[in-house]
Every structure is written in structure tokens, then in C-alpha cells.
Chain A
Amino acid sequence: MSHERLEHHEAEATDRAMFGFWLYLMTDLLMFAILFGVYAVLHGNAIGGEEGRHLFSLPLALTETLLLLTSSFTCGLGMIAARLGKKKQVLTWFGVTFVLGLAFLLLEIDEFVKLIDEGQTPQLNAFMSSFFTLLGTHGLHITIGLLWIAATLGYIMKRGLNHHMVRKLAMLSLFWHFLDIVWIFIFTIVYMGAFV
């Protein structure tokens, strides 16, 4: 097979993979849609517990939001570097993304622990069940994203920045931005919604 046709074959494969990844993101978005719907139906049922306005802290949620938005920005910078083939910059920017994501995750876990200490457990009532499930699912996605960043960076250090890696990074950055968008909805509906 000629070199040219092989390249064409690879380009087509990348194109398909990106399209498939978009489709996957749509399915994930639908899963979140269900959780948002469930939260919308059940968030008033705070039986035996506090309402959201007495539980949530807007400054904390804003900090989390800013961490995640900044991580999306650095993730974008890393992607630009990847397209230009600058390995060192890729490692730096995705490294910063990883740290910011981890900080977000720790803050979220801290919030969960505090709530549970106050007796506001997922088992308490339907409001808490839907709150923990919605945010927990998002947190789980962030965890998977962090694992993914770590694995990709590890392989890039070992093998260098080839086109397979750029494809992986492109998907990773889509995934990361997607989580950011979901978080914006969480921030708006769950946190700001509680204080309306």
C-alpha cells in the first residue's frame, strides 16, 4: 500500500473516531439529562432535612466553577500545543489541567464529607439522593478524566507525540470541555437555583 493511501486511511479512521466520540458524548449528556430531570422533580422533597439554601455555600461553588473553567482553558492551550507538535508544552498544559481538576475534585469531596457529617446523607431524603447522585456522577466523570490525562501523559512521555496521541488528546479535551458544560448547568440549577 502506498504511503499516501495509508495516510488517507488513517485520516478517515480519525474522522470516524471523532464522530463516534461525539455520539458517545451525546449518550453521556442524556444520562446527565435524566439526573437533572430527577433532581428537578425531587429537589423539593427535603423531608426530615435542610433545604438547599441552608446547606450550600455559593463562594465554594464559585471557586469550584472557576477551577474547572480555568482547567478547560489550560486544556485548550494544551490542545493547541498538540496540534503544533510541541510535546513539552503539551505535558505542561495538560499537567496544569490535571492539577486544577484534582483541586476541584478534592473540594467536592470535602463538601460531600461535610454534608454527611451534618447528617445530610444520600439516604436521608429524595432531595439529598438526587443531589449526591447528580454531583457524584459528575465527580466520577472528573475522576475518569484525571485517570485518562495521567495515562495519556504517561504514554506521551514514553512514545512521543504521534498522531495516535493527538487523536487521544483531541477526544480527551472534548470530554473535559463536556464536563465543564455539565458543571455550568450544575452550578446554575443546583447551587444558584437553591438561593433563588
Chain B
Amino acid sequence: MKELLIGKLTWESLPHQWWTIAGSLSFIFLGLIVAGILTYTKRWKWLWNEWLTSVDPKKIGIMYFIAGGGMLLRGGLDAVMLWLQQALSSGDSHGYLNAQHFQEIFTAHGNIMVFFVAMAFIFGLINYIVPLQIGARDLASPLMNTLGFWLFVGGIVMVNMFFFFGGEYAATGWLAVQPLAGAEFSPGAGVDYWVWSLMISGIGTTLGAINFIMTILKMRAPGMTLMKMPLFTWGSLYSMVMALTIFPLLSMTLFLVYFDRALGTHFFTTMGGGDPMLYTNLIWMWGHPEVYVLVIPAYGLFSEVVSTFSRKPIASYTSAVVGMFGVASLALSVWLHHFFTMGAGANVNAFFGVMTTFVAIPTAVLVFNWIATMYGGRIRFETPMLWFLGFGFVFALGGISGVMLAVPPVDFQLHNSLFLVAHFHSTVIGGVLFGIFCAISYWWPKFTGFRLNERLGRYAFWAWIIGFNLSFIPMYILGFMGASRRLDHYDAETGWQPLFILMFIGGLVIMLGVALQLAQIIASFIEKKRLRTNNDPWDGRSLEWAAASPPSFYNFTTIPHAATRDAYWAIKKSHNRKTQYEDIHMPKSTGVGIYISLFATLASFAFVWHIIWLIVVSILGIIVTFIVRAFDENTEYTIPAAKVKKMEEARAKKEKAGPAIENNDYDEDMGLWELIKVILGFILGLLRNRGWRRWRA
């Protein structure tokens, strides 16, 4: 009976270890704070109507950023815990984590950083920027977009659910090594959480990929041929085509893993004719291209930042487009370099080694594009440009170590060592994360209408660069000294401890960088009147800068005509900007994305705990919601031209009434001390005026 009702759940599943209690309490606490603020300011309805059910890609983009930012802190906390354990746990000391817990943390760290931080920000950026860059008003399928986003949120819920139910996450590495992740060796719910959080967020990614390919190929502004598209749009297109190619592989592989675990089939088991190496091939056929899905949009973004801040068009646009294509296509045929040591034979290893080394060629083409663009340009070293230069340095480290690892005999020495860990952190932090930071400081004025505090941004950049090198250069050295990855303890006579301690200090400096970034955002909100900008603060070149900042929900009053590359640059030079008002078609908001995702999350939870009735109910829920929506013919509305005109005039009036726009007064930007003073003053004021008296009375 109990089995029927709640499946494999027991009292033991509730939080009882210190970390599950702390984790679940902090999630509950956070939820209560948010709910309290929403109730106090009476914003529940606003939240539902304006944000949660919105199909506006700009709002969905911002929700991606918020979710990704939260997960960055969560995954960062994991990283600090790992560093601290490794700094402490030498010789007689065994640190403060047991081996199982340590393994769960590095698994969660990897999953969260790749799926719920990097993917979140990349999808957020593509959502916000690509429609603007191609001069479109919304996406090809707004419904699929909100559904994809909410499935991604469902993935976040599932990856954190173990705090509340089950108490253990997968301890199998971020790609769940087989047969370790099978039912025989990992009987707990951890691997099932892993499967289902990746499953639903992965399906969301596939939907997103379909949607963005449709949007980019079918909805460009008149005049914008493929070879006139901005490079970020190119990068996004390649990235989405890759995602479309590989995410179905992930979904199906995850199904097979789940069948093995739940139904007792023999795909990847050691018994019954299963083949664990089949799994390793399948998962890396997805896993390797996945990191390129993340980094190729960043390549596109850097191309635009370099061009804007050098005040030159990108040097050799065509070779940049071809270079990104080269990276994207080669990346699909290198997956075996993750397991040269499997013993596939010299010829197979040689082929994949050579293909991997080839990736360096189109990447180098891009690097030369950027150098040539900067050459002779009038470069402005503002934060986006700083992040680009930081990327150049860190990514070069990652690239060079990558080419080293691509040589099979060298790989036999370095396989599964900390050298490898340092390598992929250099590429992912240097390439993807710095790209994301660069993008956020570059497009922030577009998102909000005011620029970011430049001074704190610079501090944050230097903290990140110094922290990164302090923590990852020792990691390269440790790798050479023979330290393998995933070590929760090592002998004292290895002499590694000083380097591990150095890594931990570097981690703290990175945390300081993150804190400074948060301070930067807070300071910018405090000073937002003074930091106000017009629609084009950087003297930009592509169409997103033609829209207002922040853009109206229909993006453009008149769809711009893209006659050349750098379309907005040409429009600015021609001084020919007249506005025509026209009727605008927009999609209606819908809660369908949330409902389906809610059912999908419930279904995942039920799959993890084998609660049959809940599986049936949730899947029926998905089907019914889907059918009802699919035959709804009334999903759009029209804004008449007269109303558009009224809204535009109201906006212009408001802009005129606001303070004058001053752009480049970076010296006056608030520093750290001033920020602390302002915040303390604010809190004191709050206490004095209201809270304090009320509390005493």
C-alpha cells in the first residue's frame, strides 16, 4: 500500500545530514523572504502576469540570467567546499567531508555549472539579443520558448530536490560513469535525480534550439542576408544547430540509463551482455560538442565587442564566419579524445588526436581576426574589452594545454589528472564565463537603460583574473606532479599541500570577484539616474542598438532595413531615420509553459521515486494541456498603429523629462567605500524611520 502511494520514499529520505538540513532550510528561508517581499509589496499578480507567463524573449532572457546567477552562487559554493577540503585533507587530517559527500559535491558542481549556469546565460543572451540583432519582434514560436525556459527551471528544481527528499546526489562524476552509475553500484536516488534534471532541461534545450534556428533562418529583417548577420547571431546559429544535433543523443542516452536502473535492462551493465563503453561513447558524443555549444556564441560576441571597442568593422568577416563553422563541425568528430586510454587502438586514437589538434586551426583564424581588428583601431579599454583581453589570456592557456592533451601518448600520462581539470576550467571559465561577463557588461545598458558602474567592474575583473591564476596555475603544476582529479585525500609526503592551499586562496579571491560583481550591480542600481544612457552608449554597430534601451516589448516601432553588415552603423551614418507607425502583431502571454513544466517536474520526481500513479497523472496532464493549447487558434493580438504612436510619444516625453544623459564620466562612479556608506545609511534610515520603532513598541 505504502509502495503504491509514495513509491520508494521513506522517512529516511527526509533531511537528516547537516548539509541537507542546511540546504533545505536555506531554500525555504530564501523562498519565504521572496514570498514575504511579494506579499508586502502586493506584487504576486504582477509577477504572474508580467513575468512568469510572459512570452517576451527579453523577459525570458532576464529570467534566465536571474536563475543562472543564483545557480552560479550555488555552484560556486560547491567549488569553495571542494577547494577547502583539498587544502585541509592531507596526511593525518581527513578534512571535513567524507569521500561520498565530496564526490556528490563535485558531481553537482559540474552539472550545475554546465547546465544551469553556462547554458542559462547563453540561452538568456540569445533570447534577449538575437531577435534584436536580426530586427525581429519576437521568436518563431513564443510558446516553445517559454516552455523551454520552464523546463530548464524544472531541471534546476530536480538538481536541488535531493536536499529535501533523498539526501544524496549522484556521486558518479558529472557524466555518470558506467557501470558505476548503474543500479548495482549506485542504488540510491542520486543518479535518478541526475538523469531527470538533465532530461527535462535537455528537452528544453532541444526545443530552444529548434526555435532559434527557425527564428534566425526565417525572421530576419528585410535586406539582412545570411552574410550580413552580426557575428553573435552567426555564433548563436551554429551553437543552436549543434545543440539540435546532440541534445537528442543526450535525451535518449539518459532514457537508456534510466531503463537500466529502473526496469533492469542491460544496456550499460556488466552483466547480461551490456556494454559500459557504449555509454562512454554515447555520452561524450553529446558531451564534447556541448562545450562548443557554449563557447561558439561567445566567439561571436567577442568579435562584436572587439569591433565596437576598436571602432572598426571586424577584419575579414567571412573568415570569422567560416572559422566558427570550422570549430562547430570539427567539434562533432573529436569525442573519443576523452577516453584515449580505453584502448580503441592506435589508428582510432591517432584519428581523433589529429581531429582534435585541427580544432586549433579555425580557432586561431578567429584569434587573428580579433588581432587584426584591433590593429590600427582606436581601442577603448572599458570593462567589456577588459573581459575580452582576460579571455584571450586564459583561453590561450586552455587552448595550448588542450592541444597537449590531444596527443594520445601525452594523454596517457595526463589522463584524469588535475592537469586536465585545469585545462577545461581554463577553456570554460576563460571562454564561456568571461564571455558571459563581457556580454553582460556590454549589453547591460540595453537591458536596463543605464550602464554598469565602471570602477567596481574593473575591480571585479582584476579579482577574477588574479584569483583564477592563483587557483588554476597550481592546478596545472599539481597535474604534472601526478595529482589525479577527484581526490578527497592525499599523502603528506607528496608535498602537494602548499599548492592546494594556494588554490584555495585563489578560490577566495575569485569569490571576492563575485562579491564585487554583486556590489557593482547594486551600486549601479543606486546610481542609475546618473548612469542613464541613450539607446547607443558604446557607439555600436548592429541593430540591437537601434532599439530603445530598454527596448519596448515589440522591439522596433518600424522594422529596420538592413542594407549592409553593421546595419545600425550604416543607418547612423546616413542620417535617414524616419518613423512610420504600423499595426503590430504580438503573441499573448500564456501559462501553458509553466503548467507543462510543472507536470514534467512532477513526473520526473515520480520517476525518481517510482510513484506510478503520479507518473500517470502528470503525463496525462502534459497531454491534455498540450492538446488544448495546440488547438487554440487565438494566440495573438494586434496593437493598432495609433496606439503604437501614443506609446512611442509617451516614451519620448518621459525621456525628455528625465535628467540629461551623461555618458562617459567614469571617474565619478561610486567606489566600494561609498557603496558601503550608502548601504549602511539606507539600513540606518530604515531602522530609524520604521522598523526600529515598531520593533521596540
Contact between A15 and B218, CB atoms less than 8 A apart: yes
**Cβ of B521 < 8 Å from any Cβ of A?**
no
**Cβ of B259 < 8 Å from any Cβ of A?**
yes
Within B264-280, which residues are at the interface with A (CB < 8 Å)? 264-267, 272-275, 278
**Cβ of A16 < 8 Å from any Cβ of B?**
yes
Within B252-293, which residues are at the interface with A (CB < 8 Å)? 252-253, 255-256, 259, 263-267, 272-275, 278, 282
Cβ-neighbour of A125 out of B214, B253, B272 (below 8 A): B272
Give the chain A neighbours of B272 by CB distance below 8 A. 45, 47-48, 123-126, 129
- In angstroms, Cα B219 to Cα A48, docked, is 56
Given the known interface contacts A19-B218, A164-B633, A168-B630, the answer about A129 and B265 at a Cβ–Cβ threshold of 8 Å is yes
**Cβ of B141 < 8 Å from any Cβ of A?**
yes
Within B544-594, which residues are at the interface with A (CB < 8 Å)? 583, 585
**Cβ of B638 < 8 Å from any Cβ of A?**
yes
**Cβ of B24 < 8 Å from any Cβ of A?**
no
Given the known interface contacts A34-B253, A147-B623, the answer about A26 and B244 at a Cβ–Cβ threshold of 8 Å is yes
Query: A163: nearest residue on chain B (CB-CB)?
Result: B633
**Cβ of B349 < 8 Å from any Cβ of A?**
no
Given the known interface contacts A27-B210, A123-B266, the answer about A34 and B274 at a Cβ–Cβ threshold of 8 Å is no
Within A104-128, which residues are at the interface with B (CB < 8 Å)? 122-127
Within A155-183, which residues are at the interface with B (CB < 8 Å)? 155, 162, 164, 168
**Cβ of A192 < 8 Å from any Cβ of B?**
no
Within B216-261, which residues are at the interface with A (CB < 8 Å)? 217-219, 244-245, 247-249, 251-253, 255-256, 259
Give the chain B neighbours of A189 by CB distance below 8 A. none
Contact between B218 and A16, CB atoms less than 8 A apart: yes
Contact between B214 and A16, CB atoms less than 8 A apart: yes
- In angstroms, Cα B247 to Cα A12, docked, is 28
Query: A48: nearest residue on chain B (CB-CB)?
Result: B272
Contact between B252 and A35, CB atoms less than 8 A apart: yes
Contact between B585 and A9, CB atoms less than 8 A apart: yes
**Cβ of A77 < 8 Å from any Cβ of B?**
no
Given the known interface contacts A9-B585, A16-B218, A42-B278, the answer about A125 and B252 at a Cβ–Cβ threshold of 8 Å is no
**Cβ of A72 < 8 Å from any Cβ of B?**
no
Contact between B247 and A27, CB atoms less than 8 A apart: yes
**Cβ of A28 < 8 Å from any Cβ of B?**
yes
- In angstroms, Cα B273 to Cα A47, docked, is 6
A174 to chain B, nearest CB (A): 14
Given the known interface contacts A34-B253, A122-B265, A151-B627, the answer about A20 and B210 at a Cβ–Cβ threshold of 8 Å is yes
Give the chain B neighbours of A27 by CB distance below 8 A. 206, 210, 244, 247-248
Contact between A31 and B585, CB atoms less than 8 A apart: no
- In angstroms, Cα B273 to Cα A46, docked, is 7
Contact between B638 and A30, CB atoms less than 8 A apart: no
Give the chain A neighbours of B18 by CB distance below 8 A. none
**Cβ of A24 < 8 Å from any Cβ of B?**
yes
**Cβ of B211 < 8 Å from any Cβ of A?**
yes
- In angstroms, Cα B628 to Cα A151, docked, is 10
- In angstroms, Cα B214 to Cα A15, docked, is 10
Contact between A34 and B248, CB atoms less than 8 A apart: yes
Within B587-627, which residues are at the interface with A (CB < 8 Å)? 623, 627
**Cβ of B189 < 8 Å from any Cβ of A?**
no
Contact between B267 and A129, CB atoms less than 8 A apart: yes
Give the chain A neighbours of B583 by CB distance below 8 A. 1, 5
Give the chain B neighbours of A74 by CB distance below 8 A. none
**Cβ of A62 < 8 Å from any Cβ of B?**
no
B437 to chain A, nearest CB (A): 31
A57 to chain B, nearest CB (A): 23
Give the chain B neighbours of A47 by CB distance below 8 A. 272-273
Give the chain B neighbours of A126 by CB distance below 8 A. 266-267, 272-275
**Cβ of B439 < 8 Å from any Cβ of A?**
no
Residues 31-53 of A, flagged 1 when their CB comes within 8 A of B and 0 if not, give 10011001001100111100000
Cβ-neighbour of B278 out of A17, A19, A38 (below 8 A): A38
Number of residues on chain A facing chain B (CB within 8 A):
41
Cβ-neighbour of A31 out of B251, B264, B274 (below 8 A): B251
Give the chain A neighbours of B219 by CB distance below 8 A. 16
Contact between A20 and B214, CB atoms less than 8 A apart: yes
- In angstroms, Cα B275 to Cα A14, docked, is 44
- In angstroms, Cα B265 to Cα A132, docked, is 10
Given the known interface contacts A126-B272, A133-B256, the answer about A19 and B265 at a Cβ–Cβ threshold of 8 Å is no
- In angstroms, Cα B226 to Cα A69, docked, is 40
Query: B274: nearest residue on chain A (CB-CB)?
Result: A126
Cβ-neighbour of B264 out of A20, A35, A45, A123 (below 8 A): A123
Contact between A41 and B275, CB atoms less than 8 A apart: yes
- In angstroms, Cα B274 to Cα A38, docked, is 10
**Cβ of B140 < 8 Å from any Cβ of A?**
yes
Contact between A38 and B140, CB atoms less than 8 A apart: no
Residues 300-327 of B, flagged 1 when their CB comes within 8 A of A and 0 if not, give 0000000000000000000000000000
**Cβ of B631 < 8 Å from any Cβ of A?**
yes
Contact between A23 and B275, CB atoms less than 8 A apart: no
**Cβ of A71 < 8 Å from any Cβ of B?**
no
**Cβ of A130 < 8 Å from any Cβ of B?**
yes
Contact between B633 and A30, CB atoms less than 8 A apart: no
**Cβ of B158 < 8 Å from any Cβ of A?**
no
Give the chain A neighbours of B253 by CB distance below 8 A. 34
A-B contact pairs, 17 of them (CB 8 A): A16-B141, A20-B140, A20-B144, A23-B244, A34-B248, A34-B252, A34-B253, A35-B252, A45-B266, A46-B273, A123-B263, A123-B264, A124-B272, A133-B267, A147-B623, A151-B627, A151-B631
Please list the 7 inter-chain residue pairs (A to B) with the smallest Cβ-Cβ separation, ordered nearest first: A45-B273, A126-B273, A129-B265, A30-B248, A34-B252, A1-B583, A123-B264
Partner-B contacts on A (CB < 8 A)? 1, 5, 9, 12, 15-17, 19-20, 23-24, 26-28, 30-31, 34-35, 38, 41-42, 45-48, 122-127, 129-130, 132-133, 147, 151, 155, 162, 164, 168
Partner-A contacts on B (CB < 8 A)? 140-141, 144, 206, 209-211, 213-214, 217-219, 244-245, 247-249, 251-253, 255-256, 259, 263-267, 272-275, 278, 282, 583, 585, 623, 627, 630-631, 633, 638
Known: A123-B265, A124-B272, A133-B265. 17 other contacts (CB 8 A): A1-B583, A17-B141, A19-B218, A20-B210, A23-B209, A24-B210, A34-B249, A42-B267, A46-B273, A47-B272, A123-B264, A125-B273, A129-B259, A129-B267, A129-B272, A133-B256, A151-B627
